[in-house]
């Protein structure tokens, strides 16, 4: 009887150790998401992580120019669809330079906040909203505009702006202390 009890206790301990190991591995995986050559740490906020990404230097410069650093360091939670540098470079010539001028701060802020949704929308939540919307989910942005999310294949989410331009999420669920970042390949523009 003692052997049977001991065996059951060992099985329970091994099972608990396996669960703890899996949880630790999940936390390590989340902590080791690489963006722009740097680890994005869930213990840091959106801005603290973004400034370390070599792929988001234009976005960071724009966030600073628009005066949004303090906001994106705030409690949140926020979901940020973060365009890479190439996305800004593919805008018509002179667009970024024009937006970064001090007299265009309000317009720049509107473009940037068009990439932000209140709340923490992980990929699973976005995909569930798309499924519930029978193929399309409308995401209300902080700027007051709407992004449409759709599936392109079984696991690829595509965003469409109000002008019909599309962007693909290339890196999902970069968890932050105040929300989540999804890396996108195009700049979304409000009407």
Q: Is residue 189 part of a domain?
A: no
User: What is the number of domains present in the chain?
Assistant: 2
Q: Judge contact between 152 and 168, C-beta under 8 A.
A: yes
Range of the domain at 168: 35-184
Do 69 and 107 fall into the same domain? yes
Q: What is this structure's pTM?
A: 0.82
% of the chain with per-residue pLDDT over 70 = 83
Mode of pairing for the β-strands spanning 78-83 and 157-160 = unpaired
Write down the mean pLDDT value for the chain: 85
Q: Judge contact between 159 and 184, C-beta under 8 A.
A: yes
Domain with residue 128: its CATH number is 2.30.180.10
- Model confidence at 175: pLDDT above 80: yes
Element (H, E) at 184: strand 179-184
Mode of pairing for the β-strands spanning 179-184 and 78-83 = parallel
Do 5 and 91 fall into the same domain? no
State pLDDT tens for residues 27-83.
434 446 878 777 888 989 899 889 988 999 999 999 999 999 999 999 999 999 999
% of the chain with per-residue pLDDT over 90 = 72
Do 148 and 109 fall into the same domain? yes
């Amino acid at each position: 009887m003692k052997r049977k009890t001991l065996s059951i206790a060992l099985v329970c301990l091994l099972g608990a150790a396996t669960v703890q190991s899996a949880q630790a591995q999940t936390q390590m995986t989340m902590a080791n998401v690489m963006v722009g050559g740097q680890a994005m740490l869930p213990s840091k906020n959106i801005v603290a992580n973004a400034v370390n990404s070599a792929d988001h230097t234009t976005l960071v410069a724009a966030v600073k120019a628009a005066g949004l650093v303090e906001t994106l360091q705030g409690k949140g939670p926020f979901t940020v669809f973060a365009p890479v540098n190439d996305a800004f470079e593919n805008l018509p010539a002179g667009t970024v330079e024009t937006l970064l001028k001090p007299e265009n701060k309000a317009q720049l802020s509107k473009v940037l906040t068009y990439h932000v949704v209140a709340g923490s929308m992980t990929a699973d939540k976005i995909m569930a909203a798309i499924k519930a919307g029978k193929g399309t989910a409308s995401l209300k942005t902080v700027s007051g505009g709407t992004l449409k999310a759709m599936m392109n294949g079984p696991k690829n989410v595509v965003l469409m702006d109000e002008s019909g331009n599309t962007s693909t999420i290339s890196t999902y669920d970069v968890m932050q202390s105040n929300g989540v970042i999804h890396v996108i390949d195009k700049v979304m523009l409000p009407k």
